[in-house]
Structure 1
């Protein structure tokens, strides 16, 4: 077992359920990359390669009072009423719930970066994690924001090309080819095993 953590971002119904408020935002890219199938196949076949597997769902109160003058994607989330506490859309997808014996959920995410407003860093430090592997959505937003923060905190970072999805296939490809290599390893779910 390595000192690596698999970090799952955005695996919630508002993104991945056909009934999800923001499903149409990522559905094309998710279908092309196979983000769900590849992520859970990786967990099924190689969970023992990770010291921990963590889910970091985003969730807001009814009035989104924690968002002060939101812009961009956070404003769009507020206007759409997505990821509201106690709703179907805010819930983690069924596959996460079914694996709650090996996936630790760290609540508190209120923005783009999974370290912000959560105990994620404390948890990782307690386990002596030095390598974070990122899976989930949205590639250009939460994956990038979390990856950069992890890098700046001194973690080695890997982004999984076939376990992430974005708003468009072009955006997914652009980030994987031009942005992530600036601070992270960029591999698919088969190649990552050799890094662990």
Structure 2
């Protein structure tokens, strides 16, 4: 897997999920701690930053009245009810751990739901950059990671999902998706194995 043909897609690295004060932090807190998601993600970005690999983030934002959501159900209904990810609020901002890499990470706006390809120009950017391999990290494993991964597979990309850089609602859910769901359309590896495959093992 060559860095110049690879894109790391970061999903949900916003305060409302990953900050201890985030509105929805409790949803992924246990799973994130077990696999040290933030530590692993930062290490991965540190290793990829000097390479030609594309690093993008796809934050989710909503207007204060959530006019984008029409009769939402499930987690989107919860997001609206608790007031998460409102544009311009601290909760919607990118986590401080990624601040050192802001000049290296391309923000792709427009995400309003689960799939990072919907309502964004992510696919266009990836194709323009000659990307054939997509690596997914972030939250939530069973929702945005799964939806984006399936979409990427259907668009013809080779998909890799990082078992130690993704966060689920529970540890059991994380293990179930990594062992029983993701392998149906993607490779599932730890970030250290990904770096070895990209011949960046000296940085692991």
Normalised to the residue count of structure 2, the TM-score between the two structures is 0.93
Matched residue, 1:180 = 182
Matched residue, 2:137 = 135
Q: Take 1:94 and 1:50, find their aligned partners in 2: how far apart are those partners? A: 24
Decide whether the 8 Å contact of 2:15 with 2:92 is kept in 1.
yes
1:68-109 deviation per Cα after TM superposition (whole angstroms, max 9, x unaligned): 111101001000100001100001111223211111111111
Deviation at 1:47, TM superposition (A): 2.9
- Written as runs of structure 1 = structure 2, the 5 A alignment for 1:2-21 is 2-21=4-23
Matched residue, 2:31 = 29
- Written as runs of structure 1 = structure 2, the 5 A alignment for 1:40-119 is 40-49=42-51, 51-119=53-121
Among 170, 183, 190, the residue aligned to 2:172 = 170
Q: Take 2:50 and 2:134, find their aligned partners in 1: how far apart are those partners? A: 15
Structure 2 unaligned residues grouped into runs of 5+: 199-204
Q: Take 1:65 and 1:177, find their aligned partners in 2: how far apart are those partners? A: 37
Count of aligned pairs between the two proteins = 196
Decide whether the 8 Å contact of 2:4 with 2:54 is kept in 1.
no
- Runs of 4 or more, structure 1, over 6 Å off, are none
Structure 1 unaligned residues grouped into runs of 5+: none
Normalised to the residue count of structure 1, the TM-score between the two structures is 0.97
Deviation at 1:66, TM superposition (A): 0.6
Decide whether the 8 Å contact of 1:38 with 1:189 is kept in 2.
yes
Q: Take 2:49 and 2:165, find their aligned partners in 1: how far apart are those partners? A: 15
Q: Take 1:40 and 1:188, find their aligned partners in 2: how far apart are those partners? A: 13
Decide whether the 8 Å contact of 2:141 with 2:166 is kept in 1.
yes
Say which is worse superposed, 48-57 or 176-185, in terms of deviation.
Answer: 48-57
